[in-house]
Structure 1
Amino acid sequence: MHIDWAALGSVFGVSLVVTVALVGFFTLGIIGLTKRESASEGGGGAALAVTGAYACFAACAAAVAYGIYLIVA
């Protein structure tokens, strides 16, 4: 039995980076929705916060859909 350690390390590294990026995007989306509430009380900027939050959530959904595609294909 032969284990390709380089390939295993590569998969680990890529999955670690993608996981941290997805968590970061989701966190930015939550922060954007939180900023929307505070921006609506204090003046403007609510539309930009909501747009950024939805863009972050869309990036997360696209990454999950691509992962499912890779598993199924």
Structure 2
Amino acid sequence: MNIDWAALGSVFGVSLLATVSLVGLFTLGIVGLSKQESTSGQGGGSAVMARTGAYACFALCAAAVSYGIFLIVF
């Protein structure tokens, strides 16, 4: 049995980077929604921008998860 340590390290690094990126992106979406709720009483365009940014973060998370499922299935 021969283990390719370079390939194993590469897979570990990419999976760690992808995990941290997705969690960070999802967190930004949640923060955007919470900012949208806190600024909704003040009115203005900041609430709309916060909601739009949050939805964009969630859409990117969904796209990344969908791409990962695509890679596994096909």
Question: What TM-score, normalized to structure 1?
Answer: 0.97
Task: Specify the SS of the correspondent of 2:40.
Answer: helix
- How far residue 43 of structure 1 moved from its aligned partner, in angstroms, is 2.9
Alpha-carbon distance in structure 2 between the residues aligned to 1:30 and 1:21: 14
| 1:24-49 deviations in Å (ceiling 9; x for gaps) | 00000000000001111123211000
The amino acid across from 2:11 in the alignment is V
Moved more, 51-60 or 38-47: 38-47
Alpha-carbon distance in structure 1 between the residues aligned to 2:19 and 2:64: 10
Partner in structure 2 of residue 62 of structure 1 = 63
Structure 2's unaligned 5+ residue stretches are none
Identity of matched residues, %: 74
Alpha-carbon distance in structure 1 between the residues aligned to 2:42 and 2:34: 13
Does structure 1 residue 25 correspond to structure 2 residue 21?
A: no
Question: What TM-score, normalized to structure 2?
Answer: 0.95
Structure 1's unaligned 5+ residue stretches are none
Number of positions where the alignment pairs a residue of Structure 1 with one of Structure 2: 73
Provide runs of 4+ in structure 1 moved above 3 Å. none
RMSD of the alignment, in Å? 0.6
Does structure 1 residue 47 correspond to structure 2 residue 48?
A: yes
